[in-house]
Amino acid sequence: MNMKTIDTAGADLNALRVFAAVADAGGITAGAELLGLSKARVSIEVSRLEALLGVSLFSRTTRRVALTDAGQALYGQAVPPLRDLQDALARAQAGQGAAVLTGTLRISATVDHAAQALAPIVAAFAAQHPQLQIDLRSSDRVVDIVKEGIDVAIRMGWLRDSTLRATRLGDFEQHLVAAPGYLRQHGTPKKPEDLAQHPWIALSMLPTPLTWKFTGPRNQQRTVRMNSRLRCDSAAAARALLQAGAGVSVLDSYSASRAVQDGALVRLLPQWQLPRGGVHAVYAPGRHVQAKVRAFIDFYAERLVSSA
């Protein structure tokens, strides 16, 4: 079926709300949990809507459902104005132009960033919005935010997926670090070139985990290729290996700051700077950004600026 306009006359708002929840969550069961309804009720509402429109909105497998072409057309046509209406009703209910945030906000971040920086901000945001449920999911893999029903993902570094929308919230420094015990045993590097002689702990999530570009005094440039036997896929694991004296590596400033303050790690070559990375809020494509997502992004950006 072509992506043509679908006649939604006769479809009530509740049926469209159920349809949107199933599409966002990727399944009948997950959509029912999102709405707080029974699985049977949601399945009936979807079937009624499909019967009314005379098209199949979802292709069903044993594991999940996916939008058909007709479902994608309906989603693009009906869901954005539906959410605009929901936001307008929430603002009217608040009575002062500010929306009362309800429902569930699903946030994704890496394990380390969730623990080191994000959790206190989420707690403060939750305190300001008592009617909003928040589901904070931490994982060091890059999640499929559409498939997993994530409203907003906080990602560090350099974005690769150009199909998603992103808002840059701030940035961070990268710090070269090692444990004091390691430095006593192996010596302290005096210049970037010395690092090629030290065992490097590589973060496999980075685009070039073994090649690093340094900028020093008088804008000097140095590119160093590291030697590595140890690799890991998270900043938390890298920090643990560093603190155990396994070698030298780079951590983002959020991950490194507490360990450096506590003396568990030492920052090396502070006069040589590494490229700064970005902190991004990433969300699914489409013109509509829900009020709860906009509110959280603004809240988080303000906290990052104030802590910089």
Closest to 74 measured CA to CA, from 86, 64, 82: 82
| Host H or E run for residue 66 | strand 65-67
The pLDDT value given to residue 3: 42
Please report which confidence band the pLDDT of residue 173 belongs to, taking 50, 70 and 90 as the band edges: very high
Which residues fall within 8 angstroms of residue 187, CB to CB, at 6 or more apart? none
pLDDT tens track for 278-287? 899 988 765 5
Please report which confidence band the pLDDT of residue 1 belongs to, taking 50, 70 and 90 as the band edges: very low
Closest to 182 measured CA to CA, from 101, 105, 243: 243
pLDDT tens track for 203-251? 988 889 999 999 999 999 999 999 999 999 888 899 999 999 999 999 9
Domains within the chain, CATH numbers bracketed? 13-94 (1.10.10.10), 103-168+278-307 (3.40.190.10), 174-275 (3.40.190.290)
Contact 297, 152 (CB under 8 A): yes
| Average pLDDT score over the chain | 85
pTM: 0.64
For the chain, helix, strand, coil in percent to 5 are 45, 25, 35
